[in-house]
Structure 1
Amino acid sequence: MQQLLFLLISVVLAQDDLITVQVVWRHGARNYYHCNWNCIEDQPRGDEAVLTPTGMRQQYVLGKWLRQRYIIDNQFLSSKFNENEIYIESSDENRTLTSAYCNLLGMYPEGPSIPQFEKENESLLLPPNQDAQIPKDLGDNALPHKIQLIPIHTKQKSLHSAIVIQCPKIETFNRETQLYKEVNVASAQLYDEFNKELNLQGEQKVNDIIELSHWRDTFICNRYNGDPLPPNLKPHTLQQLDNIANLAQSLERFQTQDQVKIQSTPYFQRLIEHFDSALNGSQYFKYFASSAHDTTLGCFLSALNLTSAQCQADIYLKKNITYNKCMTKYVEFAANLIFELYNNINIGPFVKVLYNGEYVPICSDFAKTCQYTRFRSIITAQLVDYQKLCIESNDETYRVSQTPKWAYTFFSLTILLLLLVLSWILYLRSQQGYRDQN
């Protein structure tokens, strides 16, 4: 009986057809973002928090992992880059753009070769500069080491709401909630230990969970990039900083379910559109990837009901509440979330979701697959009017495509000045005409 059941399951699974994949990852390890320890406050740093060699390696290896899964094992994508199969986007930050390039070097390691030219046409391989020469070791490779370059699409931050979590107005009162205050009170001993170990005095002292998480961010960057840590910082304290990092971000950025819904809507609205298009055959991209941030993935994990500020706080405060799903670990560098849409001739389309390469339950507390109709209903039930709730209600920050106020003021003053000048000219002409008549 067991063998028959196993055979039936194998037959059903063998008929799974992977239709489309959507991936979002956090950039790799970067430089520190907050200047709070062992840094010079006023020292110019160019673009802050750039991707480091460690981060480049992380993303390259992630790209190799994706290649193994979708090109070698599943043969879902072509072995060579095909612009009709994949689309890559990134937020407009150096660390995410560079992460995308490193990731794709791992995914598509081999680039094209140049066409064979007759000797008299070899000049076509050169730019029109008179002294330009082809490097002798380049051979027939289009680029050194036969690397493949792939276009990365981006938009300015204020227009890229799908992968840049941004709606400051709805976060205004997050530090005034009872939950936030309760967590801060419970962290008093941790603040005291931290201040003593770093010898922080007066206004330097830390007494806020979000501020403490900023220090943790500096230390985690140092750990990833081989830089020193404070000599008196105890491993136990450092572990506690790791434990509160995810909670601190959730309390700051997406503390309530409404905040999660608003900020995740642009991405999930687009995800459903892509999946619907893939099922009806109107979308030709098979692989859609986004290079983004920790806040991006943190918000999406909350939207998928895999974690929340409330459940993290309850666990941190040791409340007697049980959660089947509550991720408390921080979204570390190169973390990734993958949505796979399959079709099966017997059961129809379904979705699998992976976080850092492991399947996570979406439709229930334990199931690894989710019927697409069910997945779609879960996602669409929490979509809201992002334009109305975030952009229109926060004109000062997001009035990007409209004319700024200073331009209106300048234009009005210019028109007024022209009218005054014109009136003065007409007045002078009328006076001149009056004198001529007399």
Structure 2
Amino acid sequence: MRTIDLRGQKLSPAAMLAAVPRAAQARAEALETAARIVDDVRGRGEDALREQAERFDRVTDHAIRVPAEHIAEALASVDPVVRAALEEAILRVRQGSAAQVPASRTTAIGPGAQIVQRWQPVTRAGVYIPGGKAPLASSVVMNVVPAQVAGVTSIALASPPQPDGRVHPTILAAAGLLGISEVYAIGGAGAIGALAWGVAAIGLDPVDVVSGPGNNYVASAKRAVAGVVGTDSEAGATEILIVADAVADARLIAADLVSQAEHDEQASAVLVTDDPALAERVAAEVEQIAAGTKHSERVGVSLAGPQSAIVLVDDRAMATSFSNAYAPEHLELHLSDAEAAASAFTSAGAVFVGDQTPVSLGDYMAGSNHVLPTGGQARYAPGLGAYTFLRPQQVISYDHAALAAVRAGVVALANAEVLPAHGEAIEARFQGAAGGATTL
């Protein structure tokens, strides 16, 4: 891992952003490629999907719409220990998601005048589940459970075909546990395009919201379909940023950095510390752990990339500023006062407080959601939750007397804006007999 030394520098917010390690070129290339793939699916439907499956997944003539028996077989044959873990994760994520559904609220503006704030679920959701380098069965839970908690009644799931042409059996088993029967063997950016635009030839109707993690191509495809459908944040190649002080355990930090680098060659792993001795210990531990892990080659590429680094800062304040500028997907605080310090770290997809709360916990069993914004979007975008599938609506109800109380004001503003018909629509209700309750 390279070292970025920011000590002794007084960085403006813009300079701090510029110092953040990113693989900018990779993201730019992904956006251009993903847009072409999505457009191809929109124009050519199933033919485009089959060509993409052959090109990217090395699969031909497979069943794109997964037969029900494949799901049943996967559910019947899943390892009982894995099934129990999935069931526990479902329970925990369901509990965590339930807190994200706001209650309906009525506000009385005045006598006879009220606004009801309600939250309506979308009709149909499409969820994408990665299955290439890692078959993320846990992502089935993270996507489907919040949609179900929100009240979505129609959910389509897409995941890449494996070499045998089928969706990975653990992913199918997770879908079966959640009662999802509409599953498609489609991968990458093409899956996002198919969910957004629909593919009539395979019975796939367009969805209202697309969610799910993936690589930078999947994240870029969401940008390409934005405006056609709603999307969650662009949850691209994973990121971990760890802020640590002198008392931190270098071995645990290194293990957590490697755990996220394992996902993808484009994954980002960053340590920020004001202790050079800790930085040296972590670098040595990372080298040792990375060499012995199963996906050492993938991890090595990730850690050597421009998106990964050890960042040296002067003090806690500078570490906090750097972290908030980076706005990581996952933020770990390995600090002597982690609980007290957490409130200062305002920009992160999820914050993991203390060295006994690793990102791996959030990936599976914490009850939080692991579909989180990447690429700095945590400065303004949330992670996936039940709210992703909800639309706030205001229902306005005034009776005749309540309308009369604001009649003059509405007419005055309408005339000031040179929109007289707006005022005339109000006056029409006061010509002849008074009306009853009216919804505007």
TM-score (norm 2): 0.22
Q: TM-score, normalised by structure 1?
A: 0.22
Could you say which structure has the larger radius of gyration? 1
Higher-strand-fraction structure: 2
Q: Which has the higher contact order (CA 8 A, sep 6+)?
A: 1
